[in-house]
Structure 1
Amino acid sequence: MASTRRHFLSGAAGLALGLGAIATDGLVEAKEEGTAMRRAMDGARDRLVYSTLFTAQNVNALLKDDADRQRALAFCRDIGISKVYIESFRGEYAREELLVAARDFYRKQGLAVSGCVTTVSFGKKSTGWNLISCYTNGDTQAKLEEIFRFTARLFDEIMIDDFLFTDCECEECQAARGGRSWEEYRLALMLDVSEKRILEPSHQVNPRCKVIIKYPQWYDNFHNRGYGVDTETAAFDRIWVGTETRNPTAERWGAKQQYEAYFIYRWLSGIGGPKTGGGWFDTYDCSPEVYVEQAYQTVLAGAPEVFLFNYGDISREANRPLMDRLKAAQPQLAKLAQVASIKPLRGVAAYKPVNSHPDGEDYIFDYIGMLGIPLVPTHRFPGQAKSAFLSMHALKDRELPVKLAAYLKRGGNAIITSNLAKRLASEPALSDVPGLAAADQPTLSSTPWAGTLVVLPAKPPFTSLYQLPQEELNRVRNAVVLPAAGVQMNAPPRVALYVFGNRELVVENFADEPADVELRWGSGEQGRARITLAPHTVRQVRR
């Protein structure tokens, strides 16, 4: 529920315009100033799309006349925003005449323009979170259809913010559920509602209209609240991904690790394929460094569009340092976007089946990535991968023991959690696999088939993994990364590694302290790189 607790009504106070650039560490040398910096920033904007949202409240309060619209345009141009989403509904309607005026104005100014709907505070309330609706209820469904018919008249593309779920357990829902689990019922309900009350009416009103479902970042809870990422992705025209991780120590947002943005986008894009659009993040509980880390992760994950939520927030004076930092990072982001497009993505396959349950290992993939193990997320069993990471999520696959045995006997390398090792230890199909036992410390076992099995202790809080001695972490990491990506990394925790194609490496330091990093991919000095990463910086290395 972390990202769904977003402050969804944006205030109008403290708007700031004309933000200036600041220096930043990373891929851009400090000497790039003046005209050279401006050219680099312009190039960044050419290669990446930056976008923002005018919420329904923004439209009504901040786009009331031409002066307001001009002011917002100047802000967008300063940040490099070339696409805007104009929201028709977020608990209240935006006035139609203001929607039309804004749409036509920004189109004439050369910006791409789409619509948006946020499905909160309408119809019958859920018995859970009071912003959410009971979608079993007929009146709620009728109101939902009304909202989308209205919006489809005005826009050829509609984004749905990440509140299209339900947690209601009212008597009406209980009766409709019957003997099904809440997961089964909600997955079926939200797909049916999406098809009949959103997609069909929108396409009927406007055959050109494309409807985007934006998934939040709480991927381990999707199925419990009706987000079926396989069935809904198939149904909707496009998908979008929430990459809002925020401050990793902010408990009210779930203390999300920065790597989560990368993992969820790569995982969902594997399901969505060409339907996958951009990544969306916000300013909440963000320092300038953490805010831009969301952008780095979004771009490294391959997103072609960086969505900055929302105009009312990002234009506040209090958020000026965040926007300054983003502007200064745009040349880096452009270079990272080029690198992230290189295929294949190399690393350790991370298996998370659709609708899989964490069973006590919630979001563990994010922590594994923060250990410097480059993950290649997948919703299918990675039978042909050279190395794979498996957690309790993999038990969703009923054939897991047989598949894992075949994988290891093919010579594959695996790193699995101690909880999963304990569950699999008595499986007949794995009876001849050495080292398959829970342990308090990492264990590495050579298999009879020329592979390695690593068992990693996994006890909440998973930040305890960051306490592994660096020598031990290097040993665990390199046992699976070297065969999968052809590189070894010696580095402390909270330094992430990304491997693109045969030559490009990216390392990012998420820590508040400098990190000494050694990368090895061959013999001699030509086959290694030693770098010191400043806190919260990114570096590209070509081997």
Structure 2
Amino acid sequence: MNRALRVAACAALLSLPLTALLVPPTAAARATPSTAASTYQNFRVAIYIAVTSTRQLADKATFDREFERAMRQTHFNKVYLEVYRNHVFATDEEVTRVKKWFEEKGVQVSGGITLAAGGEGGQFGTFDYEKPADREECAKAAALAAKHFDDVILDDFFFYASKSDADIAAKGNRSWTQYRLETMRQVARDLVLKPAKAANPKVRMIIKYPNWYEHFQGAGYDLEQESQDFDAIYTGTETRDPVITDQLLQQYESYEIYRYYSNIRPTDAKGGVGNGGGWVDTYSTLYVDRYAEQLWDTLFAKAPEITLFNWRPMSEAEAVKPGDRQAWANLPTSFRWQEMVSGYKAGAQANDPGPGWGRAAGYALETVDKDLGKLGKPIGIASYKPYQSSGEDFLHNYLGTIGIPIELSPKFPTNADVALLTQAAAQDPKIVDEIKGNLVAGKTVVITSGLLSALKGKGIEDIAEVWDTGRKVAIHDFINGYGAGNGDSLNDPAHDGVSDSRPAVLFPEIHYYTNDSWPIIRGVANAKGFPILLMNRYSKGVLYVLTMPDNPGDLYNLPQGLVTEIKKYLQQDFPVRLDSPDHVSLFAYDNDTFVVESFRDQPVPVTLSLLGQGVHLRNLSTNAAITAAPAAAPKDGKFRRDNVAARTDFGVTVQPHSYQVFKIER
């Protein structure tokens, strides 16, 4: 179903009563996860309470009613009790009262503040940190929270978007990015941390970073110094709707952003958690499975805590709607709406509306908890995003959504056998020397066409005389291999010979010298070839230039055969790789386990290629052994790299908006 139809259908569904939306259970239905309160084995659950709700909960009848509904639907271990947002303060008496009541229920209570100043027309407003009154209010909020709590989290509005006359004068000749970064470092130290520590020397101040990390520096968010000044960080893993979005939020980001931030602030030598958890909200969710996917992917990244934003949808007397999920409503998906509804236990109060967002969260968390303990430490293709860098925005998340697992770090991957570098790496002034170092050490380095263009005239020519011509070409035919008249078509068989039925994809034209570089994979348009994956040998290593579509979303329009062939080079010795359509992601771990998750609307066949000959595969979700596919006939090695490791293939089917957990048995 296309997005326009999906939105229209969702609007119609949201107007229906809950009972009209129930579907009969499938024959293959699993046991319903328990609706009784139970402690999760592999993570903690917190709910963030915005200051308006904090003040309302100071009424005991309101607290008792809302607590009962929230806890009955999702067993939570903790709340973050907000004391300030948008010029609204909770009183000392309100905070003390609500904190006491939660603690009497056995729930841990931490503090929260949102240093925001309202806004208009849906656009967020920030403090003007050149304005004395705003600076005073910022410090007052930090001190109030620290007075009452030993742990305080900042919601993700600690950025700077004001351009008042005072800001313009203070900026001077600096760029807005430089001015805002320098200002917010000072604000963090003098107006947040200093007053908080003065009010409570034991307080741990935690900064939550949101999901738009590519653009942080332009608004003063600092992942370099600021993330180390605070006692810990937290991750906004909400990705919401991936199509109707102004922030380029692809599904894979709920996993990848937590991994990136954990490499910025890892667990310290004493075991202290640097990245405390992931944070998901209910906004812009067209179907309930999309909400569950965000929770699952955060936890697949091994977040120790998940925070649900916010108290209102978790506790309000309102039923959640399934949304636009008719296409898979009767399939055995990971989130089973009917099981969630039929297993719901109504409260003692009259007119119970049925399961709400809290029960949707509880069901999704119970579902994934049984699988997480089987998974080891996440692994992926090493990639590099320096601090304060931007370029080929959020490309890693698009790559993850086509099935390439990414482990993103702010440090150059010196020891990685394969390093993937995007345009953001150009922020590092030593990047060409670092690339050379890996190549001389016999490693493989893959750079995108965006990085190639950004490094023009900066020394990349000393490795390979390859450059972006500045011209564009629309391509819909793709070939594997090289040599006059040679190569295999990588087009989808259903479209081969009917090229006009596929959308053309716009690529930059990359120039190279024949026999110095080799176009291992190429596109063909009107009797001219264009490199998609270009190979150049340097010292003991291999440099690949991967040509990216001008629109990263066009990665989803590339033939499956082309994407699979690219994966073979990026993941030559990786334990598992996927041959699948787009919107099927892979999460891999260091204990020979992995997760395959489909974000598609229909069941999808997937081929799992495992490293090694004669290995076995078990589906841990069902405990069933998977039968290996017959070995493919060997192809002419002329068009393949030397010393390709043996692999064993397995075929599986993944249900829509669902995941499966697998174990490689050797």
Please classify the TM superposition score into its range, dividing by the shorter chain length: 0.7 to 0.9
Q: List aligned pairs for 1:67-86, cutoff 5 A.
A: 67-78=61-72, 79-86=74-81
The answer to which of 305-314 and 166-175 deviates more is 166-175
C-alpha displacement of 1:542: 0.5
Matching residue within 93, 104, 113 for 2:109: 113
1:393 aligns with 424
Query: CA distance change for structure 1 residues 366 and 534 in 2, over 3 Å: closer, same or farther?
Result: same
Paired amino acid for 2:105: Q
1:153 aligns with 147
Paired amino acid for 2:438: Y
How far apart, in 1, do the equivalents of 2:52 and 2:466 lie? 58
Structure 1: which 5+ runs fail to align?
1-20
CA shift digits 1:7-53 (9 cap, x unpaired): xxxxxxxxxxxxxx99999xxx83324xxx3399836x233211112
C-alpha displacement of 1:94: 2.2
SS where residue 42 of structure 1 aligns? coil
Q: List aligned pairs for 1:401-440, cutoff 5 A.
A: 401-424=432-455, 427-428=458-459, 430-433=461-464, 438-439=509-510
Q: List aligned pairs for 1:355-370, cutoff 5 A.
A: 355-358=388-391, 361-370=392-401
CA shift digits 1:214-269 (9 cap, x unpaired): 11110011111111112111111111111111011122x52410111222111111
The answer to which of 442-451 and 304-313 deviates more is 442-451
Work out whether residues 136 and 189 of structure 1, in 8 Å CA contact, stay in contact via their aligned partners in 2.
no
Paired amino acid for 2:660: R
Larger radius of gyration, structure 1 or 2?
A: 2
Work out whether residues 299 and 336 of structure 1, in 8 Å CA contact, stay in contact via their aligned partners in 2.
no
Paired amino acid for 2:254: A
How far apart, in 2, do the equivalents of 1:41 and 1:335 lie? 15
Query: CA distance change for structure 1 residues 435 and 40 in 2, over 3 Å: closer, same or farther?
Result: farther
Query: Is residue 2:322 matched to residue 1:289?
Result: no
2:258 aligns with 265
Query: Is residue 2:100 matched to residue 1:104?
Result: yes
Matching residue within 52, 56, 62 for 1:57: 52
Query: CA distance change for structure 1 residues 153 and 428 in 2, over 3 Å: closer, same or farther?
Result: closer
How far apart, in 1, do the equivalents of 2:244 and 2:454 lie? 33
How far apart, in 1, do the equivalents of 2:320 and 2:100 lie? 28
SS where residue 571 of structure 2 aligns? helix
Query: CA distance change for structure 1 residues 415 and 366 in 2, over 3 Å: closer, same or farther?
Result: same
How far apart, in 2, do the equivalents of 1:349 and 1:115 lie? 36
C-alpha displacement of 1:539: 1.0
1:354 aligns with 387
The answer to which of 99-108 and 450-459 deviates more is 450-459
How far apart, in 1, do the equivalents of 2:374 and 2:615 lie? 24
SS where residue 239 of structure 1 aligns? strand
CA shift digits 1:340-374 (9 cap, x unpaired): 5x23x32211110010122xx11111101112111
How far apart, in 2, do the equivalents of 1:446 and 1:255 lie? 32
Query: CA distance change for structure 1 residues 185 and 302 in 2, over 3 Å: closer, same or farther?
Result: same
Query: CA distance change for structure 1 residues 466 and 260 in 2, over 3 Å: closer, same or farther?
Result: same
How far apart, in 2, do the equivalents of 1:517 and 1:240 lie? 34
Matching residue within 590, 613, 631 for 1:501: 590
2:482 aligns with none
How far apart, in 2, do the equivalents of 1:246 and 1:24 lie? 27
How far apart, in 2, do the equivalents of 1:324 and 1:22 lie? 17
C-alpha displacement of 1:427: 4.9
In terms of fraction of residues, the more strand-rich structure is: 2
Work out whether residues 248 and 255 of structure 1, in 8 Å CA contact, stay in contact via their aligned partners in 2.
yes
C-alpha displacement of 1:409: 3.0
Matching residue within 547, 554, 561 for 1:471: 561
Work out whether residues 126 and 161 of structure 2, in 8 Å CA contact, stay in contact via their aligned partners in 1.
yes
CA shift digits 1:275-302 (9 cap, x unpaired): 2101111111112111011111211112
TM-score scaled to structure 2, two decimals? 0.71
In terms of fraction of residues, the more helix-rich structure is: 1
C-alpha displacement of 1:56: 0.9
Work out whether residues 248 and 394 of structure 2, in 8 Å CA contact, stay in contact via their aligned partners in 1.
no
1:535 aligns with 656
Work out whether residues 193 and 205 of structure 2, in 8 Å CA contact, stay in contact via their aligned partners in 1.
yes
Percent identical = 30
CA shift digits 1:156-195 (9 cap, x unpaired): 2111111111012222112222332211111111111111
Query: CA distance change for structure 1 residues 441 and 516 in 2, over 3 Å: closer, same or farther?
Result: farther
Work out whether residues 59 and 94 of structure 1, in 8 Å CA contact, stay in contact via their aligned partners in 2.
yes
Work out whether residues 88 and 117 of structure 1, in 8 Å CA contact, stay in contact via their aligned partners in 2.
yes
Query: CA distance change for structure 1 residues 152 and 482 in 2, over 3 Å: closer, same or farther?
Result: same
C-alpha displacement of 1:460: 4.0
CA shift digits 1:467-488 (9 cap, x unpaired): 11111111101211132x2333
1:11 aligns with none
How far apart, in 1, do the equivalents of 2:258 and 2:193 lie? 24
Matching residue within 366, 379, 383 for 2:410: 379
Q: How many residues align?
A: 509
Work out whether residues 401 and 430 of structure 1, in 8 Å CA contact, stay in contact via their aligned partners in 2.
no
RMSD: 2.9
